[in-house]
Structure 1
Amino acid sequence: MLIELRQLIRRFHGDEKGTALIETAIAAPFVLLLSAGVFEFSNILNTRLLLEAGVEDAARYMARCNDSTNCISYGTNLAVNGSITGGSARVPNWTTAQVTITTSHTPAVDLATGTELYLSSTANVDVVKVSTSIPYSGIGLWSYLGFGTINITASHQERVLGW
């Protein structure tokens, strides 16, 4: 039995036929996993950038809006759909209910450090902040690997100029 095994090994010892196939079979799963990871990360980044663009647009609109009855509904729709009325969703499954708009009366100067936050002739300024957080539902590699749900958040604030 041992002699037969030695003869079989000697027969294949100098033969290099099929080595490329074996190397490809070993490397292919790793290359595919790496490619899928790049696509998943790109999709997460694209979703984050679309959310950021939406909240920036809404914050800029809210900072200059003077129609107080419709500002919030227009601002949230602008964030999600790219238009104050109608439009199509920037991100799948992102709704206006997931957008939060808050206003605050903020000091123009940070009292702890003395840093000037906003150029103002008054001690306080009005600031509007638009934020959102949505669960990521993308290609599926992230959840397939068992990492759980990712919540993608974005926020932006602007000094109020119009109210």
Structure 2
Amino acid sequence: MKQLKHIQRFQPRFVKRFGGEDDGAIIVEFGIVMPIMLLLLALTVEASRLMWSYQSVIAGVRDAGRYMARVTPSDICAGGGSVASLSSTLKDIVQKDINGNALFPIGITVNSVTPSYSCVAGTYRVSPAPVAQVTANVTVQFPLGGVLALFGEGISSVTTNVTDKSRIFGQ
């Protein structure tokens, strides 16, 4: 019984002292802010990776369009023909550099590359002028998509088409 009175007597002072201290406040604030900061970091990394990947795909499709504009005969509009046989070569150009090394970071897949051409009248000095078009269907996988899913609906991949057109000058 004597011990209980002793505790009750010192309790208000202890509670007052504990309420007045702020030694652990920084850790509590850090614990509250940390998930938000991690989410912002993950979003920044994913947005940067997406932009880098998209720019790499654009460069590859542009190179494939230039190649197609050089190897396709300039009289294709008059003589007719098909460019479907260039599909696998153009896919390699989109995916790899001149040494055969992969251009894209891990997680980017080129699903298909579709070459086509059209004959445009009245725009160029030659009428109708052949114009090459290369369209690549690309899927970008996000490695941090699982982390983003913790904060709501996460997007794990994006699929899009990238197109480039070039005037055909022939061989």
Please give the TM-score of this superposition, normalised by the length of structure 1: 0.74
Give the deviation of 1:138 after TM superposition: 2.3
**Aligned equivalent of 2:33:** 27
1:106 aligns with 2:120: yes
Pair 129,9 (structure 1): closer, same or farther in 2 beyond 3 Å: farther
> Quick one: which amino acid aligns to residue 120 of structure 1?
R
What's the C-alpha RMSD, in Å, of the aligned pairs?
A: 2.9
1:81 aligns with 2:86: no
Tell me, which stretches of 5 or more residues in structure 2 are unaligned? Answer: 1-7, 74-82
> Quick one: which amino acid aligns to residue 158 of structure 1?
S
Pair 69,150 (structure 1): closer, same or farther in 2 beyond 3 Å: closer
1:126 aligns with 2:130: yes
Separation (CA, whole Å) in 1 of partners of 2:33 and 2:45: 19
Aligned residues: 147
Q: Any idea what the Cα deviations from partners look like across 1:9-37, whole Å, max 9, x if unmatched?
A: 53333212111111111111110111011
The answer (yes or no) to whether the contact 2:60–2:93 under 8 Å persists in 1 is: yes
SS of residue paired to 1:136: strand
Separation (CA, whole Å) in 1 of partners of 2:137 and 2:44: 23
**Aligned equivalent of 1:146:** 153
Give the deviation of 1:82 after TM superposition: 2.1
Separation (CA, whole Å) in 2 of partners of 1:13 and 1:132: 64
Separation (CA, whole Å) in 1 of partners of 2:40 and 2:17: 37
Larger helix share, 1 or 2: 2
Separation (CA, whole Å) in 1 of partners of 2:47 and 2:160: 12
Instruction: Find the partner of 2:109 among 69, 94, 103.
Output: 94
Give the deviation of 1:46 after TM superposition: 1.1
SS of residue paired to 1:94: strand
Q: Percent identity?
A: 22
Write out aligned runs for 1:4-83 (5 A): 7=12, 9-66=15-72, 71-83=86-98
Structure of higher CA gyration radius: 2
Please give the TM-score of this superposition, normalised by the length of structure 2: 0.71
The answer (yes or no) to whether the contact 1:133–1:154 under 8 Å persists in 2 is: yes
Over 6 Å off, 4+ runs: 67-70
Pair 52,160 (structure 1): closer, same or farther in 2 beyond 3 Å: same
Give the deviation of 1:66 after TM superposition: 4.8
SS of residue paired to 2:109: coil
Pair 69,157 (structure 1): closer, same or farther in 2 beyond 3 Å: closer
